[in-house]
Structure 1
Amino acid sequence: MILLSDMKLSEYDQRQLALMEETLSLYSSDKMTLKKLIDNLEGLLFCLQSVDIEWKNEFHEHWFVLEQVYAVASFRNESIDPDDPDIQESLKQLRRLLKD
């Protein structure tokens, strides 16, 4: 895996990555819904310009787990448990990617 610290990132991408971290923090402090988290992270991911494609793909994989959990719960008309292990593991991996 390629680390962010190994990439030459534009100022623009650094701002987008900071917004991703802020978005994760807002969700973790119950100030954002899972749907809004998913939408914001997707939009920010697609805005990145100088980030390595491998990193983007790995971020997308973990983001997609959140999308799947949300889609299944919506389809079944079930509430979403923020402590769901799939959600928590995805959040952990997304934070890891943003910290490295």
Structure 2
Amino acid sequence: MTLLSEMSINEYDKRQISLMKDMLTLYESGKISLKKLIDSLEGLLFCLQSVDVKWKDEFHEHWFVLEQIYAVASFRKESISQNDPDLLNALKNINELLSK
């Protein structure tokens, strides 16, 4: 895993990363939907300027799992379980990427 702590990150990117963490907290507390989380994380990811490409790729990989879960549930007109193992694992991995 590529660590943020090993990178020289500019202040702008630090703010974007902080916003990503805030969005995860809002989702986990039930204040925003999975769709809002997905859209917000994607937008913030594309704004990052000084973060290594490898870190961005890892983040995108876990973000994409969220996107797939949402897309499949939407297509099937099903709700998404908060206990879905794939969802929980992707959220855990995203949190780890943002925390280290």
Structure 2 counterpart of 1:37: 37
Deviation at 1:2, TM superposition (A): 2.4
Measured after TM superposition, the shift of residue 82 of structure 1 is 1.5
SS of the aligned residue for 1:2 comes to coil
User: Normalization by structure 2: what TM-score?
Assistant: 0.98
Q: Distance in 2 between matches of 1:95 and 1:11?
A: 20
Task: Verify: 1:88 aligned to 2:88, yes or no.
Answer: yes
Aligned-partner Cα distance in 2 for 1:87–1:18: 21
Tell me the equivalent position of 2:14.
Answer: 14
For residues 84 and 32 of structure 1, what CA distance do their matches in structure 2 show? Answer: 17
Query: In structure 2, what is the Cα distance between the partners aligned to 1:23 and 1:2?
Result: 21
RMSD: 0.6
Q: Structure 1: which 5+ residue stretches go unaligned?
A: none
> Where in structure 2 are there 5+ consecutive unaligned residues?
none
Amino acid at match of 1:59: F
Aligned to 2:53: 53
Task: Supply the distance in 2 between the matched residues of 1:92 and 1:2 (Cα, whole angstroms).
Answer: 15
CA distance in 2, matches of 1:23, 1:92: 14
